[in-house]
Amino acid sequence: MSSRRRFLAGGAVAGSAGLALSVGRLAVPASAEQTGTHAGAHGGGVAGPTFRLGSMVDPNTNGFDPSKVLRDFDYGTVSRLPGGRTLREWEIASSDKELEIAPGVRYPAWTFNGRIPGPTLRCTEGDLLRVKFTNSSAHPHTMHFHGLHPADMDGVPGIGRGVIEPGESFTYEFDASPFGLHLYHCHVSPLAEHIARGLYGTFIVDPPRPRPPADEMVMVMHGFNTTFDGEGNQLYAVNGIPFHYMHHPVRVKRNELVRIYLVNVLEYDPINSFHIHGNFFDYYPTGTRLEPSEFTDTIVQAQGQRGICELRFPYPGQYMFHAHKTEFAELGWMGFFEVGE
Ligand SMILES: [Cu+2]
């Protein structure tokens, strides 16, 4: 039985209305050595923090706020090349950073620019992109982008510049192609841990003719294996902090087009999913076509899969969204849309 399932068997139960986040006790890490102060602070795995009504992580604690991550698109520093082509440049640094991922639960994360997920990099098909990566972590890392590019720019060990050691920098340079919804992540072994620790982000390539105006947002689905046993996860989240959008609903306007860039990077579990209450959405897998493939209220993604969801809310009120792997939902992957006039 995986640690997650042992954890559930031990009495973790979410509140029926979704607001009473009475998840019993959280599993704590296997050893203090793996996680610094956390395990020691909770006496070796017996006592632990709880999700009680009103108990939440202060968005200021970690230096990033999932409510802002949601609509934070980083277009880089923009300039024109001779001939008129657009050049976009970014500086991304990896660092080791302890985050509070649930009330009283600290997790030794590895981050891009100090946040989970890393910044959402956004460009238009055909732009020239330069991403200067500096490794300020104590561990070797890379940035591996999904998309079309030469092998030397693939950010994997042994090819091109390969692994970027602590203290080193490297600039990845490639053309933005194809248009769609992509991602980036570290590609150093053990890969599962380098991803699970938090080294991933969204990479959006807009089509040359932009999509119609909409209230746009990014949702990166992921988890936290707080026991570091590589067997499932103890907490699940969108954009960094479990249950964040339960406490801070995503506010949208009635009848306005909402466009969700949905990415799954969840490690240690084979699938993830997205379900919305009281509504349906058009789904564009990988965002590489301008026609939707499906009109649905639930989609499933394996790790690395992603897609664009477009919808309008015809009625005001609060509508849940969550993994339809309900076990994940009850361990943090759920939130609310709040529809106003
Ligand atoms: Cu890494």
Beta strands in 152-290 (DSSP E): 169-175, 180-185, 200-206, 215-224, 235-238, 250-253, 258-264, 271-276, 281-285
Span 64-92, pLDDT tens digits: 999 999 999 999 999 999 999 999 999 99
How many angstroms does the Cα of residue 194 sit away from the middle of ligand 1? 4
How many angstroms does the Cα of residue 252 sit away from the middle of ligand 1? 36
Q: Determine the pLDDT at residue 59.
A: 85
Give mean pLDDT, residues 128-148: 98
∠132-308-234 over CA atoms, to 5°?
Answer: 75
Q: Distance (Å, rounded) from C-alpha 110 to C-alpha 200?
A: 10
How many angstroms does the Cα of residue 163 sit away from the middle of ligand 1? 9
Closest CA to 231 of 201, 190, 270: 270
Q: Determine the pLDDT at residue 4.
A: 55
Longest dimension (CA), the chain: 64
Beta-carbon contacts of residue 32 (< 8 Å; ≥ 6 apart): 38, 39, 40
Domain ranges of the chain: 66-206
Residue type, 75: Y
pLDDT band at 239 (very low <50, low <70, confident <90, very high): very high
Beta-carbon contacts of residue 238 (< 8 Å; ≥ 6 apart): 66, 219, 220, 221, 222, 244, 245, 333, 335
How many angstroms does the Cα of residue 12 sit away from the middle of ligand 1? 32
pLDDT band at 2 (very low <50, low <70, confident <90, very high): low
Assess whether pLDDT exceeds 70 at residue 188: yes
Q: Distance (Å, rounded) from C-alpha 251 to C-alpha 234?
A: 28
How many angstroms does the Cα of residue 327 sit away from the middle of ligand 1? 28
Give mean pLDDT, residues 289-315: 98
Q: Determine the pLDDT at residue 51.
A: 53
Assess whether pLDDT exceeds 60 at residue 316: yes
pTM for this entry: 0.87
Under CATH, to which class is 66-206 assigned?
mainly beta
Give mean pLDDT, residues 286-309: 98
